[in-house]
Structure formats: C-alpha cells, structure tokens
Amino acid sequence: MASVRRCTLLLGRSLGRYFVSQRSLSTRVNTARARFRPHHAGVLLATSLVVYAGSKSSDGFKPKKKEEDAFAAKAVKLTSRERRFIKFASVQYDGQLYMTPQDFLESVVEQEPRPRLKRRTLTDKDLAALKDATPPLKKGSTQMFRSLRDKGIVSFTEYLFLLSILTKPQSGFRIAFNMFDTDGNERVDKNEFLVMEKIFSHAWRDKRGLPTEEEADKGKAKNKENATGEKKEGQGAQADSDYVDDEQGLQRRHLVDTTLTIHFFGKKGKDELRFEGFRKFMENLQTEVLELEFHEFSKGAETINEVDFAKIMLRYTYLDTDKYDMYLDRLLDRVKDEKGITFEEFRIFCQFLNTLDDFVIAMRMYTLADHPISKDEFHRAVKICTGTSLSPHLVHTVFALFDEDGDGLLSYQEFIAIMKDRLHRGFKSHAKNEGYEAFKDCIKQELKSNT
C-alpha cells in the first residue's frame, strides 16, 4: 500500500507540474495563484487519487462488513439538502437531529460547519430553557437568528421551509401564507402550521418507498392486536404514532416545540399567525442572511467593492478555475470607477433574483428569440418584475461581468444559468456523486478553493 501511495504521489507531482506549466501560458495569473506551488497540487491530487482508489473495491481489498456497504448505499440516496442538514445539525434530542439558529445561518453561507467533537444531546431541561429564550413574533427582527445563536432548535422540515423562504419573491409571501391557512379565515393556528411537517414527512417517506405514518401506525396496531388477541382503542397505536423511526434521524416525530412554533404561536401554542406577521418574518429572514453575506466582505464598511460583489454572485456556481478568473479579470478591465456597492443595492438585486422566473418570461416575450439585451431593456424588465429600480452603477457592474464581447449587451443565457445557481445556493446542481466525473469535479473545486 505504501508503494501505491508513493506512485500516486509521484503521479500527482507530475500532474501538478503539468497543471502549473499549462497555467503559466496565461498572461493574466493573479498573485494568489502564483503562490499555489506545484507540490501543493501534487499532494492534493495524490491524496484525492488514494481516496478515490480506496472507494473502489477490488479483489485484493474487499470490504469486511456487508453492513458498511449497505450504509454507504443508503447514504448516496440522500438529497443534497438532507446531506447538508445532517452535516450542520449540531444537536439532537431522543434520536432526532436538530439545527440551532446559528447552524441554519452557517449552512446557508458557509462551505463547512464549525469544528466540533460530537453533537450535543439536549435534555428536557434544555428544551425548557430554549423555549424561554425564544422571542414572540412582535419582537422579531433581522437579528433574531444571530441573537439566538445556539439557543433554539430547527427541525428538518422547518429547515426546508426556511430555505424556501430565501428564494420567495414578495408576491409569493401571500401564496405561502394561504397554503397554511387551510380554513381561509386569514389566520393560521399551530395545528394548521404543523400540517406542513406532515406533508413533508409523507413526501419524504413516499420517495423512499417507506410506509406513511398512518400506514405504519395501522400496521403496528394490527400486529399488537394479533399478538394480544384484543384491540385497545386509544392506546398503543397512539404511543407508537408519536415516534416514527428512520436511520438518519430526520423524520422522527416528537411532541417538541421548536423555535419556529414558539415564535409564531407563543409558549402555550395558543397564539394565531396573521399575514402581516408572517410577511415580516419572511422579510427579516431574507434580510438577515443577506446582511451576513454582505458583512463577510464589507468588514464593517458601508460598501463592498465590485469584485467582491462578483464573488458573491459566482460563489455557488460550478465554473472551472480559468472561467471563474476570466469573469473577475473582465470586470477589473471594465470597471474603472470603483464606487462600491451598498447593502441596499445588494439587497434590491437579490430581491430581483427571487423573481428570476418572471424575468425569464418577460425577456422571452420581449426578445422572442433569447437575443442579448441592452442596459435599458434589462433595467425596464427588472422594474416590471420587482417594482423597484436598480442603480445605474449596479447595472453597469452586472453588464461588465456578463457582457462577453463588450458590445454593451448582456449574454442572456449564461447570466440566467449562473444567477439560478446563485439563487438556489448550489442545491439545484446536478453534479455526479460517484465515478470519474465526480473525481474530476472534486479536483476542480479543490483547485478553485486554493486559488
């Protein structure tokens, strides 16, 4: 095995020299890439090759336990959202995983979770303390998740709900509220809100060919009836239905009040949620996440520079390193007067991205053949979709980034594709999870992250 590692290390170093020699042909090599030494690429590739080779079983290296293969096979079936929730969830209660408010924010803006030895196991006393720490809806703010930090819990179904909020346009707030308002009385109570969890749970179990909760309850009740020879109404089956097992700890049901249910419906669960409060919560959450991203680059200043704005727009794409650098170089060449981008400009542009589907429809009706569009056409389409105007400087920055040949027209198709990646924060990607293509994708991302 040592010889295999040495060979792969040599191969990696050779490939590393090849990559660096190829990159030296470029006339635009930035300082960060110049510091990326050949042996770094070699070690990176060698390590990746060893890991990749180890993932393929051969006659000489067969897994010792069939259980490990079964577990790995099941893990591959997890969706990107499920894998990310499991990765970032830092607490658990009675076998079910939960995120803290800080975990949720980090899962949205960070690549990796904070280092930790293990998940924290919550007690009933901890849950009572979390309930006391949760503010009521009338005291909600754009700082709520950051203020709560680890003093709260978010279930997997609520995680999906919160992610969906981040991509909702203003016009979608009313639709989302009406989905919860099952009786149409303009108020949502706790039971109506919890219907969401049941819908998500049914969809999740149905996707995996598992019985729904009701089917599982009936099966358990029937088994108990057959074993005892009698059927006890209101007992047994009810106890079983309070706990639905799954191996990942994502879809187990407990009689536990989460941070969202306490925030919406109060500590006793008797309050009712009205549309104005619901709308304000969604706006606050969107703003809080955007503030977190903006402040990461602004470092306390009132603006971010145009290159940082471009990095935020491109951070969730799967562009290779050369193309990523091409975009940034193009922007640097074309933006001579660096005015910076304010948070308000950044927020309005991100609100526009939430209406991207409407923008696509508007532009297809306008151009008919997906032709490149001018600044005036772009500005008008954004105003129609959002009701707000982008600043001339922001429009100029966007065109400097996506105008391929400098003719003053936006490269429509590529702009839409990249902005959709940005909008969905990488969750809509179709990257392969296994095979040589996945290996190549891994290497590209590692090279990109080290430049």
pLDDT digits (tens, 9 = 90+) for 31-56: 444 444 444 444 444 444 444 444 44
Domain-embedded: residue 378: yes
Same domain, 268 and 313: no
Same domain, 178 and 322: no
Domain-embedded: residue 94: yes
Same domain, 269 and 334: no
Give the number of other CB atoms < 10 A from CB of residue 41.
Answer: 23
Same domain, 271 and 406: no
Domain-embedded: residue 409: yes
Same domain, 273 and 375: no
Domain count, the chain: 2
Answer whether residue 353 shows pLDDT above 70: yes
Rounded Cα distance between 351 and 211, Å, is 40
Helices (H) and strands (E) in the chain, counts: 23, 7
CATH code of residue 395: 1.10.238
DSSP sequence for 297-330? HHTTSSEE-HHHHHHHHHTTS---HHHHHHHHHH
Phi and psi for 300 in degrees, rounded to 5? 95, -10
Rounded Cα distance between 218 and 354, Å, is 42
Confidence of residue 238 (pLDDT cuts 50, 70, 90): very low
Same domain, 264 and 172: yes
Containing structural domain, residue 415:
304-423
pLDDT digits (tens, 9 = 90+) for 121-179: 999 999 999 999 999 999 999 999 999 999 999 999 899 999 989 988 888 888 888 88
- Mean pLDDT over the full length of the chain: 75
Phi and psi for 99 in degrees, rounded to 5? -90, 150
Same domain, 196 and 315: no
Confidence of residue 358 (pLDDT cuts 50, 70, 90): confident
- Between the alpha carbon of residue 18 and those of residues 12, 63, 92, 321, 367, the distances in Å are 10, 35, 47, 16, 45
Same domain, 272 and 347: no
Same domain, 271 and 156: yes
- 238 or 344: which leads in pLDDT: 344
* DSSP bridge pairs for 304: 341
Nearest to 131 by CA among 268, 271, 280: 268
- 246 or 173: which leads in pLDDT: 173
Cβ atoms 359, 373 nearer than 8 A = no
Domain-embedded: residue 147: yes
pLDDT number for residue 79: 82
Domain-embedded: residue 59: no
Burial class, 350, CB count within 10 angstroms (exposed 0-12 / middle 13-18 / buried 19+) = buried
